[in-house]
Amino acid sequence: MANEVGRWPTFYLVIEMRQDFQMLRRIVAATVEAMGYELVGVEFHPRPGNALLRVYIDGENGITLDDCQQVSHQLSGVLDVEDPIAGPYTLEISSPGLDRPLFEAKHFARFAGAVVRIQLREPLDGRRKLVGHLLGMRGDDVVIASSDGQEWEVPLERIEKARLVPQL
């Protein structure tokens, strides 16, 4: 029996959702919007031992710590009843901030003209990270232009993360 040094078995812990992500998003949206806030987006990050559910909210006059606490309290109760996430998780309520995340086609259209940073699920022209001026949407594609004039059309489903770049 040969001994292989440095070879250890790899174990993967998967935190399963009792329902799909779209159902979770619908539960969150219904709660947040009923309270009079805009749901900017939802992120779910499964982690061994403690998942993270991050909810971004906005309001006409911005978001205060008090707003985040109220939404957290209400949403915690709803999630306890609906129980869409198996196992322990941390609920985090946040304002979108200056580096606002972009989740949906309407966000990319709304912030046309701004500078964005996009991370892709798989490379496009050998790149997974793109930074440029957001030109908006062309069909189902997000269109951005780099400072040297190169234009990229990125299918929305290929975008892993997108955020505005604050211009101070």
pLDDT of residue 151: 93
Beta strand pairing call for 51-58 and 38-45: antiparallel
Residue 167 makes CB contacts below 8 A (sequence gap 6+) with 114, 115
pLDDT of residue 18: 47
pLDDT of residue 7: 53
- Angle at which helices 65-82 and 21-34 cross, to 10°: 130
pTM for the full model? 0.80
10-residue averages of pLDDT along the chain (168 residues) = 50 49 92 97 89 94 95 95 88 95 96 96 91 95 92 94 93
Reading phi first (left if > 0) and then psi (alpha if -120 to 50, else beta), residue 125 is in: left
Sheet holding 51-58, edge to edge: 38-45, 51-58, 89-94
For residue 63 the two structure tokens come to 């978001």
